[in-house]
Chain A
Amino acid sequence: MTRPKPWYKHGGIITGIVLLLLILIGGAAAALVFTQQSPDQPIQFPHRTHVLIGAQCQYCHPAVAFSAEAGLPSTDKCWGCHQQIERQSEQLDILASYVESGEPIPWVPVALLPDFIHFNHLTHVDSGIACETCHGDVSQMTVAEPQTRWNMGWCLECHSRTGEENFVRLSDCATCHY
């Protein structure tokens, strides 16, 4: 006499569960990979070249010194140098076409927090924190790369290292969420 198979031993159900697991794991892996990839930029702007020739971060992102945002440079700023440099790559022809049409370059944001968080560059740069601490070594990057682990624990972990007397203020929800 054969006993009926318990429900979880049916082939269909096992295949279903395996497929579901595969989809979940695959989805998670894809999410991990795709969120850590640099998006396609209109111009493959090489940070490395520019930092190597001695351009300071604050020359192109001047607002870090006085505001919450860092800001991206305008085409005028690029053109100030590139007008004088011989164009050797088609990337620079793209730049020239933006300058001619007078349109801003539609850069794709890389370093981005959700809207409900209000980050402030001014106070961090003023406290002497180097850009690399948060953005990785941009001077070695060809295009800006997203950083891993930009979550609330990361902010709070560093804030907790600034000392107990500051931590009430730096961990107050109103400091970042409003």
Chain B
Amino acid sequence: MAQVTEQPRKWGMVIDLDLCTGCNACVTACAMENNIHYTGEDEVAYGRGLYWMRIQRYWHGEYPNVGPEFTPMLCQQCGEAPCEPVCPTYASVHSNEEQINLQVYNRCIGTRYCANNCPYHARVFNFFDYEIPAPMNAYLNPDVTVRSRGVMEKCTFCVHRLVHARIDADTQGDPSLENEVTTACAQACPTNAIMFGDLTDENSPIRTLFERSERGFQIMEELGTFPSITYLKGGGVYGGRD
């Protein structure tokens, strides 16, 4: 018999920029997990590339001591999301259960207001129907809807994994199953720079990092968006660089 679930959860992520090597494994894992269409070089050049996650690269230092800095950028799952109030069809809604922002594809009519209002540029739009040639459709993840033309999409914190973990935990009566859930990007990260977890869980390893790390900051926190992602950066003293 399924059980009534306990307290509401709040999912969060910590990204340690001192560990990030900019290898793009998370971007690839995300694309495979979420059936993100491959648009091709030309479309990316037009600014119509599809990605839920990207690595922003900055250069720092004076020549010849120049070094790159990488910032994985994805939907920050804001507590006060700028994308939500502007949607005329309520397709961009806040999930009370998961405490994340949702994009309900079948509700979306493609006005793109939400993307214009997103300070993180985390939302991308399907400008066309992209063909998936024959053997490649076997890669599609059956748990994630394949979006069609005219639909906005963005990082979901792998909500299909969250829902499945919750159902497994419920039906098997083992709540720990839900604590083990992680996103595709965090799973793929070779240096463990991306960590995912439940912020309401006392024992969660990311909880202290999220709230109390000295190195922690949130991107554009001055906008009052209350992101669910905290970045860690040690001002250049970590990671062997000057």
Give chain A's interface residues, CB within 8 Å of chain B. Answer: 68, 114-116, 118, 120, 122-123, 126-128, 163, 165-166, 168-169, 172-175, 177-178
Q: Quick one: which of B5, B102, B171 contacts A169, CB cutoff 8 A?
A: B5
Give chain B's interface residues, CB within 8 Å of chain A. Answer: 1-2, 4-5, 8, 93, 95-98, 100, 102, 104-107, 143-146, 156, 159-160, 162-164, 167, 170-171
Of A120, A123, A169, chain B has the most CB atoms within 10 Å of the CB of A169
Note all chain A residues with C-beta closer than 8 A to B2.
123, 126-127
Q: Closest Cβ of chain B: how far from A65's Cβ, in Å?
A: 9
Indicate if the CB atoms of B105 and A172 lie closer than 8 Å.
no
Note all chain A residues with C-beta closer than 8 A to B171.
122-123, 126
Contact status of A126 and B1, CB under 8 A, knowing A173-B104, A174-B159, A178-B159: yes
What is the chain B residue whose CB lies nearest that of A127?
A: B2
Indicate if the CB atoms of B104 and A177 lie closer than 8 Å.
yes
Indicate if the CB atoms of A166 and B4 lie closer than 8 Å.
yes
Of A116, A122, A173, chain B has the most CB atoms within 10 Å of the CB of A173
Q: Closest Cβ of chain A: how far from B100's Cβ, in Å?
A: 7
What is the chain A residue whose CB lies nearest that of B106?
A: A116
Interchain residue pairs with CB less than 8 A apart (10): A68-B164, A126-B1, A165-B4, A168-B97, A172-B95, A172-B97, A174-B100, A174-B102, A178-B143, A178-B163
Assuming A128-B1, A172-B95, A173-B95, what are 6 further A-B pairs, CB within 8 angstroms?
A: A116-B105, A163-B4, A165-B4, A172-B96, A172-B98, A178-B159
What is the chain A residue whose CB lies nearest that of B162?
A: A174
Contact status of A115 and B1, CB under 8 A, knowing A122-B167, A122-B171: no
Indicate if the CB atoms of A175 and B145 lie closer than 8 Å.
no
What is the chain B residue whose CB lies nearest that of A120?
A: B167
The 4 closest A-B pairs by CB, nearest first: A172-B97, A126-B171, A116-B145, A116-B106
Q: Closest Cβ of chain A: how far from B28's Cβ, in Å?
A: 21
What is the chain A residue whose CB lies nearest that of B158?
A: A178
Note all chain A residues with C-beta closer than 8 A to B98.
172, 174
